[in-house]
Amino acid sequence: MNPSHSSNDCISSDKVEGTSVYNAGGDKLGSIDDLVIDKHSGQVRYAVLEFGGFLGMGTDRYPLPWNMLKYDTVKEGYVVPIDAATLEKAPHYTDGDMPAYTMDYNQKVNRHYGMDS
């Protein structure tokens, strides 16, 4: 996701999961909890942001289109160009209540972030 990386620069899902996510202003939004992968192609479609809740309880999950995440080597985390209002209204679900990532759901998520489906 970092443009300076070659197409052969790989990362472990174990390392992505748990990585902090910041907004453009440098505020920490939360961390990556999970990845949503296209079974057929193996393409990672979404990195699922976990945030909210108290002491890890009741946190929500917000799928973010993978290509919205840029890795910041200084922050050692991902930066996403999403303002609070946009995230607040974004499709989300609670842990253990993951929806089916159908074409309709994916389009709903992508369109919320102004991306083509």
Sites of contact with its own copies (CB under 8 A): 1-3, 5-14, 16-17, 34-46, 48, 66-67, 71, 98, 101-103, 106
Nearer to its own copies, 37 or 90 (CB): 37
Q: Which residues contact 105 (CB under 8 A, 6 or more apart)?
A: 91, 99
The least distance separating its own copies from the CB of residue 93, rounded to whole angstroms, comes to 12
- Six token digits for residue 101: 């990532």
The least distance separating its own copies from the CB of residue 85, rounded to whole angstroms, comes to 26
Nearer to its own copies, 25 or 41 (CB): 41
Q: Which residues contact 16 (CB under 8 A, 6 or more apart)?
A: 32, 35, 47
Nearer to its own copies, 45 or 92 (CB): 45
What is the C-alpha separation between 71 and 9, in angstroms, rounded? 13
The least distance separating its own copies from the CB of residue 10, rounded to whole angstroms, comes to 4
The answer to whether the CB of 76 falls within 8 A of the CB of 23 is no
